[in-house]
Every structure is written in structure tokens, then in C-alpha cells.
């Protein structure tokens, strides 16, 4: 007796599932410049490693107990490998019901819920490829009733995963409703700039609720959410670039929050020097310079992966390596508002510090900050509150940190770059300057009357500033051991490599201890 007939039926059903929503809808997906979910998964994972779970799930019609039609479930999910590391991956199939689930499907685990629990129990990193609109109001016809949104734990599993394993998400199409919420439960998000959108509710709902006529791109394109709101971290040129960015971020992260980040051979000597570092900071303190270029000169092979490059641009947050060891870099950007920290920069900093702390990435600050951004707009944006939230995170980091003082370090924003309750390792370049307030503003405030009453106010101001500037010399700070070392800028890479070697000695112990703060959406 053989089961060949049943195996043939199994093969037929698998073939029906691979057709997705049918040739016409697949062609439409391609005409819009988008891949299908299966093509996306194939492009993301190592070739031949995807093993689908639940391929036979879907809606079937029978006649005389014979299958007459089959519509697969609008989500493809399974296990795979990325750079040889085992992961869980799922994505909406927009060719089937626009990637939308049926109302009430959250009552059971469903395909996503099962894989979320599998990832949680077995410590699997998660990749989400989202392209769907959440619930569909038409689906309640099949139920005969509506349900309370707080009935089902649709985000609970993802919230738990956020504190255990990397959750990396690409928004690959029109992402709305519950799927939009799902996208925010991530450590890193990316969206192609011309083919993806994100919104709580789309243009038809906005028109009915508010009377506003608006396009999908105007409502939630990458210009809105990457450049303005900061809800999505990075922008991609196309879907292939989005998937490349997911793999790039994953390469810096460990499999779990209890593992040490993966070290890779770099071929770049730890003691390499860069002559350009000696001249990169202008002697004119008012002139900006390229902090991006400075970082490139220090890190392995000039390679860095910047997170949120278009949002909170006063600050640079980047994943990179020195001597093969993954790390996080936080750097003030003197080319944007002079490097002052504004509300958006503080939000960006807070999230990045949480990410590094959860996944045991040592952090290096490249410091050139004149303080918090000031002025009416800065006050209206709640800069002081956002800045102090970031300060709270910085003071509760468990990972080792180090600060390289390039130029300015003033006020409360300067306090963000170190933790005096710990070893607080700091090195400085000869171009460094610091204090509670910049000399120019402090002199104007403290000596206002003396300057105003002088025969030549400008000369008196210059005289007082010169006196205080000599006291503020970084060498006097070094004499007092109030900074750990002042170095030749060309030696920066060697110092950081030595710091990271120390940090990676401590990481196995930190991995065994209770996890850090976690990462909030």
C-alpha cells in the first residue's frame, strides 16, 4: 500500500500556494516596481535556506469532496538563514487580499503568532517584510459580529521579542492599520522611497474623518516618515537596497540580547594612523568640518552603517567596527545647527543608546556639542525634556562607553557623553574645549555691566574672553587629571581599539547578567 496519491495531492496544493494571488496580480505587483513576498524572502536570505511553515494554509472550495479552488493565506512565513545564522522571517502577500488578514484571525495564533512564539522560545532573530493594510471591514460579514480590539494579544509577542532578539523590518508597500503598528515594534526599520507608505489609516479614512484630500505619499511616504517624523529609521533606493540594509544591520548584532556581538576579521591594522586627522578640525572655532569623514578615517576600512541619517541630523548615530569588533558611534554633527542637540536629535539618541545597550554594543561618543539647542522653536519642541530623557538613558547604560572630545563639550548636552558614576573613560584632542557654558555667552552674561561701561566694549569683551580661554586650555584640564588623556588625533584608532578590547572582556559577564533597559518602539 502506498501514499503516493496523497503525496501528489500535497504537491498540487503546494504548487497552488506558489501561484499566490494569481498571474494577473503578480504582474501588477511587478508593474508597480515591487517584488512579490516570495521574491523578497529569496533576495533576503541565504540561497536555498528558506523552509516555509504553513504553506497549505488558506481558503479552499470543494465540490463533491474535490478541491476546486485554493487561495493561500496572505502571509508567507518560515525559517531561513542570513549569513549562515538561523532566523525567522515572514512577509505579507499583497497579491492576496492586499496582504490583509480576516477580522478575528488574531483570536488564534495564526501563522505570524506561531512563528513569533517559535522565535521567542528558540531565540531566533526576526525579519519582517511588511506590505499590508491590516484588518478589512468586509471580513466581519463572515463573522457575523465585531470584536473589541483589546481582545487579542496581537502586539504582545512582538513586544516580548523586542527585549530578547533582533527584530528588523522592511516596509515594502502600503503599510497601514495593525500592520503599521507591527512595523513600529522593531529595532530597525527601512522603507523604499518610491514604493512604500506608512499610516495608521489611509486616504479614504482621512477624507471621511477630516475632509482632507491627500495622496498616499503625502500622507505617509518616506519623505514624511524618514525625513520628518522619524517613525522609520532609514530610506532605501529600492526594495533590493532595503533588503541589503536589513542584512547590514543584522551583521553587527548578536543573535540574542544574551550573546556577544559577532567579531569579524577586518584586515585593517588596529594601530593604523591617518594623517588627515591632524588637520580635519579648523583652528577657526566657528568653522564646521565633516564629522562623517572623521569617523571614516578611524573605523575599519572607512565602513559605517548610519541609522536615521535624515532625521535629527545634528547627531550621527552609526554602527561600525574597529579591529573587527562591532560598536555604536554617537557623534555631534557640526555642519547642522553647529552640533547643538535639538529635540529630534535627543529622540534619535535615546533610541540608539537603548539599541546598543540591549545588544551589548560598546559605545564611543565623538564629542563636539555646544549644548542643547536654544530659542523659541527649541523650547516649543520640548528640547529640554527630550534631552533629559536621553540623559536618563545614558546614565543607565550597562555597556562600556568612551568619549573622544574633538572640540566643544558644554552644558547639559555635554553631560550626555559620559557617566561620572562609572570609569567614564575620556580622551581629548588638543582642539578640545569644555565647560558649563561657552566662554562667549558666559562672558556676556557675567560681565555685562563691565563690558557696557568700558570705553571700548568690544576690546574689553575680547580681553576677558582671552583671559578665560587661557584658563580653559585642555592642557590645564590634563594637568588636573580631569580628562584621562590628551592625544595626537592620528592615534585615535589605536586608543579605541584598546578600549574595545577591554570592553569585549567585560561583555560575556554582562551577557550573563539581567538584560538592560530594553528598546521602546
* Same-domain status, 92 and 192: yes
Is there a domain that residue 330 lies in? yes
* Same-domain status, 285 and 247: no
Torsion angle, alpha carbons of 38, 41, 45, 51, to 10? -60
Integer CA distances (angstroms), 468 to 292, 352, 433, 455, in order: 31, 36, 12, 21
Supply the pLDDT for residue 473: 79
Nearest to 354 by CA among 161, 518, 207: 518
Is there a domain that residue 206 lies in? yes
* Same-domain status, 196 and 279: no
Is there a domain that residue 257 lies in? no
Supply the pLDDT for residue 466: 74
Nearest to 261 by CA among 519, 85, 116: 85
* Same-domain status, 292 and 237: no
* Same-domain status, 346 and 421: yes
Is there a domain that residue 314 lies in? yes
In the 8-state DSSP scheme, what is residue 334?
T
Supply the pLDDT for residue 112: 83
Per-residue cell: 161: 521579542
Round to whole Å and give the CA distance between 171 and 33: 14
Is there a domain that residue 451 lies in? no
- Domain of 370: which CATH number? 3.90.226.10
Is there a domain that residue 172 lies in? yes
Q: Using an 8 Å Cβ cutoff, are 132 and 182 in contact? A: no
* Same-domain status, 222 and 303: no
pTM of the model: 0.92
* Same-domain status, 97 and 208: yes
Supply the pLDDT for residue 102: 47
Is there a domain that residue 382 lies in? yes
Supply the pLDDT for residue 140: 59
* Same-domain status, 282 and 173: no
Nearest to 182 by CA among 172, 400, 325: 172
Nearest to 344 by CA among 231, 234, 200, 437: 231
* Same-domain status, 105 and 184: yes
- Quote the number of domains for the chain: 2
| H-run or E-run covering 118 | helix 110-122
Backbone angles phi, psi at 88, to 5 degrees: -105, 140
pLDDT by residue, tens only, the chain of 521 residues: 799 988 998 999 999 999 998 999 999 999 999 999 999 999 999 999 999 999 998 888 888 888 888 888 899 999 999 999 999 999 999 999 876 764 444 444 578 888 999 999 999 999 999 998 766 655 555 666 676 777 667 788 899 999 999 999 999 999 998 899 999 999 999 999 999 999 998 888 888 899 889 999 999 999 999 999 999 999 999 999 999 999 999 999 999 999 999 999 999 999 999 999 999 999 998 899 999 999 999 999 999 999 999 999 999 999 999 999 999 999 999 999 999 999 999 999 999 999 999 999 999 999 999 999 999 999 999 999 999 999 999 999 999 999 999 999 999 999 999 988 888 899 999 999 998 767 666 667 777 787 778 888 777 777 777 777 766 778 888 888 888 999 999 999 999 999 999 999 999 999 998 876 788 88
Nearest to 407 by CA among 357, 333, 336: 333
Per-residue cell: 188: 530597525
* Same-domain status, 99 and 220: yes
Is there a domain that residue 30 lies in? no
Range of the domain at 325: 275-429+487-512
* Same-domain status, 302 and 363: yes
Domain boundary among 252, 286, 304: 252
Supply the pLDDT for residue 292: 98
Report helix angle 383-395 to 343-358, nearest 10. Answer: 20
The DSSP secondary structure of 397-420, one letter per residue, reads: --S-EEEEEEEEEEHHHHHTT--T
Backbone angles phi, psi at 168, to 5 degrees: -120, 130
* Count of CB atoms situated within 10 Å of the CB of 15: 10
Supply the pLDDT for residue 331: 98
Per-residue cell: 307: 541609522
* Same-domain status, 106 and 179: yes
Amino acid at each position: 500500500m502506498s501514499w503516493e496519491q496523497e503525496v501528489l495531492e500535497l504537491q498540487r496544493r503546494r504548487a497552488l500556494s506558489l501561484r499566490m494571488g494569481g498571474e494577473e496580480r503578480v504582474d501588477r505587483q511587478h508593474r508597480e516596481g515591487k517584488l512579490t513576498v516570495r521574491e523578497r524572502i529569496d533576495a533576503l536570505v541565504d540561497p536555498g535556506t528558506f523552509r516555509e511553515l504553513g504553506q497549505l494554509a488558506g481558503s479552499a472550495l470543494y465540490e463533491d469532496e474535490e478541491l476546486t479552488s485554493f487561495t493561500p493565506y496572505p502571509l508567507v512565513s518560515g525559517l531561513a538563514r542570513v549569513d549562515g545564522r538561523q532566523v525567522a522571517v515572514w512577509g505579507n502577500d499583497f497579491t492576496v487580499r492586499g496582504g490583509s488578514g480576516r477580522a478575528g484571525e488574531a483570536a488564534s495564533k495564526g501563522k505570524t503568532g506561531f512563528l513569533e512564539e517559535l522565535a521567542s522560545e528558540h531565540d531566533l532573530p526576526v525579519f519582517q517584510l511588511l506590505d499590508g493594510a491590516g484588518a478589512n471591514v468586509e471580513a466581519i460579514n463572515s463573522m457575523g459580529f465585531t470584536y473589541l480590539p483589546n481582545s487579542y494579544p496581537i502586539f504582545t509577542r512582538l513586544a516580548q521579542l523586542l527585549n530578547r532578539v533582533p527584530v528588523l523590518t522592511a516596509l515594502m508597500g502600503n503599510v497601514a492599520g495593525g500592520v503599521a503598528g507591527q512595523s513600529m515594534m522593531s529595532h530597525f526599520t527601512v522603507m523604499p522611497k518610491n514604493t512604500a507608505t506608512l499610516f495608521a489609516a489611509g486616504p479614504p479614512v482621512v477624507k471621511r474623518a477630516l475632509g482632507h484630500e491627500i495622496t498616499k505619499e503625502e500622507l505617509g511616504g518616506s519623505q514624511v516618515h524618514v525625513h520628518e517624523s522619524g517613525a522609520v529609521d532609514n530610506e532605501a533606493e529600492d526594495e533590493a537596497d532595503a533588503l541589503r540594509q536589513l542584512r547590514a544591520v543584522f551583521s553587527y548584532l548578536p543573535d540574542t540580547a544574551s550573546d556577544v556581538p559577532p567579531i569579524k576579521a577586518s584586515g585593517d591594522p588596529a594601530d593604523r594612523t591617518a594623517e588627515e586627522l591632524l588637520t580635519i578640525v579648523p583652528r577657526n572655532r566657528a568653522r564646521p568640518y565633516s564629522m562623517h569623514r572623521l569617523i571614516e578615517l578611524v573605523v575599519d576600512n572607512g565602513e559605517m552603517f548610519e541609522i536615521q541619517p535624515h532625521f535629527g541630523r545634528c547627531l550621527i548615530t552609526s554602527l561600525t567596527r574597529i579591529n573587527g569588533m562591532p560598536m555604536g558611534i554617537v557623534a555631534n554633527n557640526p555642519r547642522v545647527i553647529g552640533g547643538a542637540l535639538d529635540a529630534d536629535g535627543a529622540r534619535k539618541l535615546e533610541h540608539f543608546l537603548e539599541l546598543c545597550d540591549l545588544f551589548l554594543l560598546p559605545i564611543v561618543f565623538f564629542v563636539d556639542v555646544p549644548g542643547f539647542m536654544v530659542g523659541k522653536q527649541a523650547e516649543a519642541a520640548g528640547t529640554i525634556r527630550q534631552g533629559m530623557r536621553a540623559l536618563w538613558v545614558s546614565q543607565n547604560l550597562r555597556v562600556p562607553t568612551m568619549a573622544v572630545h574633538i572640540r566643544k563639550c558644554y552644558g547639559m548636552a555635554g553631560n550626555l557623553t559620559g557617566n561620572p558614576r562609572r570609569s567614564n573613560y575620556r580622551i581629548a584632542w588638543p582642539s578640545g574645549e569644555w565647560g558649563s557654558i561657552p566662554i562667549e555667552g558666559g562672558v556676556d552674561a557675567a560681565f555685562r555691566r563691565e563690558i557696557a561701561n568700558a570705553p571700548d566694549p568690544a576690546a574689553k569683551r575680547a580681553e576677558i574672553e582671552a583671559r578665560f580661554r587661557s584658563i580653559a586650555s585642555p592642557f590645564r584640564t590634563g594637568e588636573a587629571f580631569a580628562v584621562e588623556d590628551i592625544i595626537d588625533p592620528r592615534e585615535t584608532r589605536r586608543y579605541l581599539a584598546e578600549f574595545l578590547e577591554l570592553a569585549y572582556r567585560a561583555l560575556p559577564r554582562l551577557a550573563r547578567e539581567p538584560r538592560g533597559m530594553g528598546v521602546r518602539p
